[in-house]
Structure 1
Amino acid sequence: MYPAMDQDVNQNLEGFNVTLFLTETVGITAVLLMAIWISVYRGGYAWTSSPDLEFNWHPLLMTIGMIFMYGNGILVYRVFRGRRKRKLKIGHAFIHLMVFVLAVIALQAVFDSHNLKVPPTPNLYSLHSWIGLIAVILFSCQWVSGLVSFLYPGLHVSLRASYLPVHTFFGIGGFLSSVTAALLGLLEKAHFSVQVYQDLPTEGLLVNFIGMAIVLFTVLVMFLVTTPRFRRLATTEDDLLLQEDSQHKMLLPHHWD
């Protein structure tokens, strides 16, 4: 057996658990506030029988998936630093697969809510929709490229190492894009639906608090991700797995390289 926590030697993790707890608390709060807003002020949920209520699935599922779960997917390698890297890769990929499923349902809900209205509402005309669609497309490309590069079939070790910074950069970029789209969507919905929003009624306050919770969650996730002393260091087992993978690649026929 190889030591599960040998990456923690000489690594300062002071404040990590407190920051992580605060991050999760704020993220869950954002989701709960979104659910309360939709249930109390926006009439609840339905599917195609009521296009206006079907729309309500869109902000809720996007907040759960493209904000809360996306952020947690990014944090997997730091939160479970003592686990085997192969398991972390599978967990990272699975969480993002669930994010993709929720995003598809959320997009279906918003397109249905526009197309089934009489008369129909135009699609993809707002800045929110443009940035949101870019975020989903970027996220989807990231998921596929990560699956091919790091899980199955997997790139050669040297190519994988070269691609990792690119994957990390665009993963964070996709997360920030989804946050930007969420904030624009909140503002757009507030101006369309909240009466006398400029007078800051209770619903307006709630919308603003949702936005602030999303921003704070994002800041905390980015702090955990970008702080060098919180990163997961390679274990002895990781090095051995890389060596085994490299040897396996060398045994493959030349046309597979």
Structure 2
Amino acid sequence: MAAMEKYKQFVVTLTCAAVMATMAVIFVLRWVLHFKEGLAWDGSPAEFNWHPLLLVCGFIVLQGLAIIVYRLPWSWQCSKLTMKFIHAGLNFVAFIFAVVSLVAVFDFHNAAKIPNMYSLHSWLGLTAVILYCLQLVLGVAMYLIPFTPVAWRAAFMPIHVYSGLLLFASVIAVALMGITEKLIFGLSNPKYKDSPPEATFVNILGVLLVVFGALILWIATRPSWKRPSEQTLHTLHSDEESTRVGPALSELSDEREGEAFGETRRRSNKLEDQVN
């Protein structure tokens, strides 16, 4: 019964996160298409609008999904190696979205004769993209290259996890700075301080991003919602009740991912599992 309650709590939390993500995407689309100039790639303000759209859809929503993809019970039937590729793939797409969004900003600024990299938002935003790239490269080198020593993987995993969560939270914070900056500079009559409909609408977008980020971080940090070790999954799949993912959640808090990796590697000798 306790395991089923944990499963229900997970599903409710995940559903709330999905709703927040969907609403955030709808809100940012509404913002750029209705309140702003739409979308284009011609150096006009419409080109700049790719920046918030791609960052919300890619750098926030896709990155959030990449963070929790290991914890989705429906993915546990997949091998750990498959999930590593999915995790890396989602992060890579999010990185591409972020790079394209930066190109749109620089292109618009150059066409409009606006200085680049003068605000705190731009400093922190570019730093986040660079660190995200480094995180992606190191993650691939450590966990997708089969010749990387197991000891290196285990030693780097706490840094990898902490850095991922820190970058995710930082990106949301930078996004909030960016949308506030855009409203302050972009609204003149009425001004931002007068709370016109666009200001209220985009403020709600910011709240959605914060709630989404909080839910993702909650899912990612609950020990009882971890992916079970490969040994536990093998036991569960061999049991006649293994078709129900709820009971599997009760196994999570008692498993150490480092031990799971060692057991799997000795059993398969293919380096298909690692600490999560």
Q: Secondary structure at the match of 1:183?
A: helix
Task: State the Cα deviation string for residues 177-225 of structure 1 (Å, max 9, x = none).
Answer: 1111100001000101123211211101111010000000001001101
Task: Using the TM superposition, give the Cα deviation of residue 154 of structure 1 relative to its aligned residue in structure 2, in angstroms.
Answer: 4.6
Task: State the Cα deviation string for residues 95-125 of structure 1 (Å, max 9, x = none).
Answer: 01101111111010000000112xx111111
Task: State the Cα deviation string for residues 44-77 of structure 1 (Å, max 9, x = none).
Answer: 0111x24211101011001111110000000110
Q: Secondary structure at the match of 1:232?
A: coil
AA at the equivalent of 1:151: L
Extract unaligned runs of 5+ from structure 2: 235-259, 272-276
Q: Give, in whole Å, the separation in 1 of the partners of 2:15 and 2:162.
A: 25
2:32 aligned partner: 38
Q: Report if the CA contact (8 A) 1:97-1:143 is conserved.
A: yes
AA at the equivalent of 2:220: V
| Greater alpha carbon shift after TM alignment, 155-164 vs 211-220 | 155-164
1:144 aligned partner: 137
AA at the equivalent of 1:72: L
1:213 aligned partner: 208
Task: Using the TM superposition, give the Cα deviation of residue 12 of structure 1 relative to its aligned residue in structure 2, in angstroms.
Answer: 3.9
2:266 aligned partner: 243
1:81 aligned partner: 76
Q: Give, in whole Å, the separation in 2 of the partners of 1:100 and 1:211.
A: 21
Q: Give, in whole Å, the separation in 2 of the partners of 1:61 and 1:136.
A: 13
Q: Is the counterpart of residue 158 in structure 1 residue 181 in structure 2? A: no
Q: Report if the CA contact (8 A) 2:230-2:264 is conserved.
A: no
**1:109-124 equivalent positions in 2, closer than 5 A:** 109-117=104-112, 120-124=113-117
Q: Report if the CA contact (8 A) 1:38-1:56 is conserved.
A: yes
AA at the equivalent of 1:76: V
Q: Give, in whole Å, the separation in 2 of the partners of 1:248 and 1:42.
A: 52
TM (norm. structure 1) is 0.87
Picking from 76, 94, 98, the partner of 1:99 is 94
Task: State the Cα deviation string for residues 118-152 of structure 1 (Å, max 9, x = none).
Answer: xx111111111111111111111111000000002
Q: Give, in whole Å, the separation in 1 of the partners of 2:270 and 2:24.
A: 46
AA at the equivalent of 2:265: L
Q: Report if the CA contact (8 A) 1:135-1:175 is conserved.
A: no
Q: Secondary structure at the match of 1:15?
A: helix
Q: Give, in whole Å, the separation in 1 of the partners of 2:11 and 2:116.
A: 43
Runs of 4+ in 1 over 2 A off after TM superposition: 9-14, 80-83, 237-241
Q: Give, in whole Å, the separation in 1 of the partners of 2:143 and 2:14.
A: 26
Task: Using the TM superposition, give the Cα deviation of residue 155 of structure 1 relative to its aligned residue in structure 2, in angstroms.
Answer: 1.9
AA at the equivalent of 1:243: R
Task: State the Cα deviation string for residues 3-45 of structure 1 (Å, max 9, x = none).
Answer: xxxxxx8994340011101101101111110010000011101
TM (norm. structure 2) is 0.81
Q: Give, in whole Å, the separation in 2 of the partners of 1:130 and 1:190.
A: 19
1:134 aligned partner: 127
Q: Secondary structure at the match of 2:7?
A: coil
Task: Using the TM superposition, give the Cα deviation of residue 242 of structure 1 relative to its aligned residue in structure 2, in angstroms.
Answer: 1.7
Q: Structure 1 vs Structure 2: percent identity of aligned residues?
A: 36
Q: Mark the CA change 1:210 to 1:151 in structure 2 (over 3 Å): closer, same or farther.
A: same
The Cα RMSD (Å) is 2.1
2:250 aligned partner: none
1:254 aligned partner: none
Number of residue pairs the alignment of both structures matches: 238
